[in-house]
Structure 1
């Protein structure tokens, strides 16, 4: 993938593009989750590029190769603005192409808010294991006098042990405790999205593992159904954990995504 340095709301950001067909059909904007980075989505980008997408992504502030104190996000509205900056880069490179936003976990929260703010610029929204609706973790941690140093368990990500092993040794992944400003920002933005209204006729695909213990699907359902303006497609995968794009049934997940996008593009 090629790297681009952009000016973000809180410092330099590293954005990425992947090789694509000479005449792509659409733009796909990948929005990564908490503590990780866009480079973990290389397989997703490859699948989408093979499907005809020009794929773009960015490391959020405090994540990956972008500037900022590690995993500190003080205001998710700034991150949404950063994602919109990358969308502008994509539109300048591929004018006139429909734009699809695909957000995972924390990236699902960012993508949902992006759709509330800029939905008229989008062709579709895909949310994977999204932090949206009812998510108890921030409130529980903020009630403690000190945030415990309990990193995400690699085994919670996927039934594929290779995924957890790669995550555990990835130097660009944050393996320390969550930060209080980020937890407070999560609480505020969950409320903002809940109060921000639905996305109208924008087609929405919701993907979730039914054994996701990091972001339980029942809590996300509350937010997804509130966000959807009526054009909701959902795929809940039995036995799958948090990262459905890295799960043992990832081929099924990718087929569901490309089938959904084919319908959007045909429409």
Structure 2
């Protein structure tokens, strides 16, 4: 595990806090870049990244703009920047991907995006899929008609008060997602995240997780969702490009598994030939943090190994 030289964000203002997890004895079979989700940070992926490194996969994690240790001050949490925030997030993926490839130039390169990160990765793949051996889309969803309605509202709010936390939208999203649960194992507003109460409690106790997005943050999120969830989002991607969709069967973001099935079926109807799906019973939005996460770890490892051999 290492933190080498500074890597500058495409906004030319922030350094992207990052960590490289390296296999022992330089025995690297492939690489994986992890793009984290909304209101969390790369540190939450350290256990998974180390697991992969122990099995020959070099991993890079990083904190996106407005998140984790990439921020300069606490009031930057949930704020992506005044100038072209969507483009900055997308370009930062390529910056980090190139940094990882430079360390391991002669192996297959994979990318994983979770939740908001999955929308970012889906958008990046439109123009850069050829740079990867495959993509893992975790905690993602199908098209949401609400996004089209919310974008103009959030653009107006972001223009008027970009750095103001939007409590109303944050509460609306949590309530809407929790309402989809069949059972509530926790009274937490983040109950939709996990079947594991310990994971929910850890998330709530983490000062760099669960924060409210600013108006700028929500505007950026919904624009990314519109791009990444469009019914023809994958038109420019090669039909044999490998994609693995990973979700809990009880994830409200993925419409309790049904949204993931719809995405996969659409891609197969569009003649994509290398689409795989893993839906895990008794798991919600964060399969990597559930009590039985080891099954998810090994399934992802097996998928990557199969494509790397």
TM range (shorter): 0.7 to 0.9
Question: Cα 1:72–1:189, aligned 2, differ >3 Å: closer, same or farther?
Answer: farther
Partner of 1:254: 297
Higher strand share: 1
Question: Cα 1:7–1:97, aligned 2, differ >3 Å: closer, same or farther?
Answer: same
Structure 1 residue runs without a partner (length 5+): none
Indicate which of 166, 178, 191 corresponds to 2:202: 166
Alignment partners' CA distance in 1, 2:30 and 2:240? 19
CA shift for structure 1 position 143: 8.0
Structure 2 residue runs without a partner (length 5+): 158-165, 175-188
Alignment partners' CA distance in 2, 1:178 and 1:227? 33
Alignment partners' CA distance in 1, 2:48 and 2:253? 21
Instruction: Indicate whether 1:3 and 2:3 are aligned.
Output: yes
Please list, as runs of the form range in 1=range in 2, the aligned pairs for 1:1-267 lying within 5 A after superposition. Answer: 1-4=1-4, 5-10=6-11, 11-12=13-14, 13-22=16-25, 23-67=27-71, 69-73=76-80, 75-131=85-141, 133-135=142-144, 138=147, 147=166, 148=168, 149-150=170-171, 152=174, 153-177=189-213, 179=215, 180-190=218-228, 194-197=232-235, 198-216=237-255, 217-226=257-266, 229-266=272-309
Question: Cα 1:199–1:36, aligned 2, differ >3 Å: closer, same or farther?
Answer: farther
Q: Deviations over 1:137-158 (max 9, x none)?
A: 6456568798514285332221
Structure number with greater Rg is 2
- After alignment, is 48-57 or 13-22 more displaced? 13-22
- After alignment, is 3-12 or 142-151 more displaced? 142-151
Aligned length: 265
Question: Cα 1:183–1:112, aligned 2, differ >3 Å: closer, same or farther?
Answer: closer
CA shift for structure 1 position 192: 6.0
Secondary structure at the counterpart of residue 61 of structure 1: coil
The root-mean-square deviation of aligned C-alpha atoms, in Å, is 2.6
Taking structure 1 as the reference length, the TM-score comes to 0.87
